[in-house]
Amino acid sequence: MDLTKLGRTERVLAIVGLLAFIDSFLSWYSVTIKGFSLGSVSAGGYSASDNAWNIGFWAWFPMLLLLAVGVVVALPAFGQRVAIRGGYAALGSATLLATIIVLIRWLTYPSASDLVGSAGADYGTYVGLILCIVATVFAYLGFTAEGGSLAALGQSIKARTQPSQQQAPPEYQQPPQPPQQP
């Protein structure tokens, strides 16, 4: 493993990918019911929490997406070259998608807070959202370092995904047409 083959952006994205995977095991959603005491009767409180893997697809998928981005950008340190269509534009799109998914997941959690207890997003959700934002920012910085701009984003992706102008195999070529007689 040769980390000198990775630039600052690749290192940050690789670290974010690893941290996102670790974050998926932290508490993403919690429910707390407070205990009470009334005269000689008392009841203890209750607390439960779940990680991204137990909450569902919309919690663990963005974390795996960040992990995949981190692995892809870290492969050159292990001597592997991977060509990605769209380059940092594609990586930025993936990290932006992860950010949007985590933000929507956070906003759609059932939540409540009153004298009896509370329910809602926990620290794992917030850490995941921060990791997504950091990954999106660094993917954008990598994109602009390659000379990309948001104005030319469409052309950037299109130019990198254009098939090369190679000759089609003989079985796909049209047979020669006879010359037309005037």
Question: Per residue in 37-49, pLDDT tens?
Answer: 677 776 778 889 9
Question: Rounded to two decimals, what is the model's pTM?
Answer: 0.78
Q: What is the pLDDT of residues 55-112, one digit of tens each?
A: 999 999 999 999 999 999 999 999 998 888 888 999 999 999 999 999 999 999 998 8
CA distances from 138 to 11, 17, 23, 31 (A): 10, 12, 19, 34
